[in-house]
Amino acid sequence: MSAITQATAYLVDLEVETVRTDAVQSFLKQETVFVALETADGLSGLGYSYTIGTGGTAVLALLRDHLLPRLIGKDARNVEAVWSDLFWSTHATTVGAITSLALAAVDTALWDLRCLRAAEPLWRLAGGYRQQVPLYDTEGGWLHLTTDELVAGALASQKAGWPGVKLKVGKPRVHEDLERLRAVRDAVGPSLDIMVDANQSMTYAEAKRRAAAFEVVDLSWFEEPLPADDLTGHVRLAAATSIPIAVGESLYSVSQFREYVAAGAAGIVQVDVARVGGITPWLKVAHLAEAFNLEVCPHFLMEIHVSLTAAVPNGRYVEHIPQLRAITRSEMPVVDGHAVAPDVPGLGIDWDSDAIDDRRVS
């Protein structure tokens, strides 16, 4: 028995490390929700979740008022049982973003405990496929950046040996997007992967039009072209373009991924460990994708996604958006354009507990 004896949650606000804009929003701040668990056999696990600026207090309230009290006395080793109990206890608010984010904070703490107990790093305990995963950059591709800045960012990534860059799209006119993409492609040549992301900003008709215009640039994927609840639109768009359609950062359950994957609406699966409800469902989505011969390129959270993409055979890319520097003592290593999964027991994130305490808002 490894009974949970204490469960606490708190919220930490992190300023954005750089200005980040896309077609619909700016990244305001990272609201980081932590869950700390203690067990009777003397282990301490720390999990986390996040928003990009709103809803963090709602996640915290759900945890404190409803989820954490249910954990006391439960065996932390039985992760599926605990996850399922929490999920069904909140059935009136599932499937939903707030509940999934709250579940993720608990689930990642349970996995931290699981790895600490086994004295294994997450990348190995979650599957153990390989320790290094190709890294692509998003930090040089925000929508407010000028074409010259996009080109400079892409060239810097290429010079550093990184295999890909992602550029935001969704400028008012097609030619504006196309000129930016062409400038980057002309500068880097044919061998760098270029992805684009519209952040759900387009109609089906507009996304189809832009995808046709973008074909000449040779894109590795077209991310979130449409609102995430427009499954039919994604099916039609995937059939209408040769560019792989990437979705997943705005899907909140395994079953939502099943609908997309089974319908042929996703060419790249971008499951986000926080938004899907934790490592437990993340792995199910990754394996579902594998069964459909799809690659997984998770959204954001590189500090934990490096270990998860390293765990599974179809992990294709880690997204470079560093956002935990203020509360960690060391950064994710990058070697030859590859993110390296940490080899220490636990989630492997080098939390700075003093810095975290200094930034607590609740």
Name which of 251 and 349 has its Cβ closer to Mg ion. 251
Name which of 270 and 314 has its Cβ closer to Mg ion. 270
272 binds Mg ion (CB under 5 A): no
Structure token pair of residue 174: 């097609």
Name which of 37 and 167 has its Cβ closer to Mg ion. 167
Name which of 20 and 338 has its Cβ closer to Mg ion. 20
Instruction: Confirm whether 287 is a catalytic residue.
Output: no
Residue nearest to Mg ion (CB): 197
CB of 223 to Mg ion, least distance (A): 5
- Select the span of 26-34, 155-163, 219-227, 350-358 touching Mg ion (CB under 5 A): 219-227
Name which of 83 and 142 has its Cβ closer to Mg ion. 142
DSSP tag of 230: -
Q: How far apart are CA 136 and CA 142, in angstroms?
A: 14
Q: How far apart are CA 114 and CA 105, in angstroms?
A: 14
CB of 197 to Mg ion, least distance (A): 4
Q: How far apart are CA 96 and CA 91, in angstroms?
A: 10
CB of 199 to Mg ion, least distance (A): 6
Name which of 34 and 221 has its Cβ closer to Mg ion. 221
* Catalytic residue from among 74, 166, 168, 208: 168
CB atoms within 10 A of CB 85: 15
Phi, psi of 27 (to 5 degrees): -75, 110
H or E, element range at 319? strand 318-320
CB of 300 to Mg ion, least distance (A): 8
**Helix, strand, or coil here: 151?**
helix
Structure token pair of residue 337: 């354009």
For Mg ion, the binding residues in 310-329 under the rule CB under 5 A are none
For Mg ion, the binding residues in 116-135 under the rule CB under 5 A are none
CB of 109 to Mg ion, least distance (A): 26
- Interface size with Mg ion, residues (CB under 5 A): 2
Structure token pair of residue 161: 């040996």
CB atoms within 10 A of CB 292: 15
Site string for Mg ion, 220-239 (x = CB under 5 A): ---x----------------
* Catalytic residue from among 74, 208, 234, 299: 299
Instruction: Confirm whether 338 is a catalytic residue.
Output: no
DSSP string, 176-187: HHHHHHHHHHHH
Q: Which of 66, 58, 71, 44 is nearest to 11 (CA)?
A: 58
197 binds Mg ion (CB under 5 A): yes
Q: How far apart are CA 308 and CA 298, in angstroms?
A: 9
Q: Which of 41, 83, 28 is nearest to 254 (CA)?
A: 83
Burial 192-219 (b: 16+ CB within 10 A, else e): bbbbbbbbbbbebeebbebbeebeebeb
DSSP tag of 343: -
CB of 275 to Mg ion, least distance (A): 11
Name which of 297 and 340 has its Cβ closer to Mg ion. 297
CB of 118 to Mg ion, least distance (A): 33
Number of H helices, E strands in the chain: 13, 13
- Select the span of 58-66, 156-164, 194-202, 347-355 touching Mg ion (CB under 5 A): 194-202
- Select the span of 33-41, 193-201, 287-295, 302-310 touching Mg ion (CB under 5 A): 193-201
H or E, element range at 339? strand 338-340
Chain residues binding Mg ion by CB under 5 A are 197, 223
Residues with a known catalytic role:
168, 299
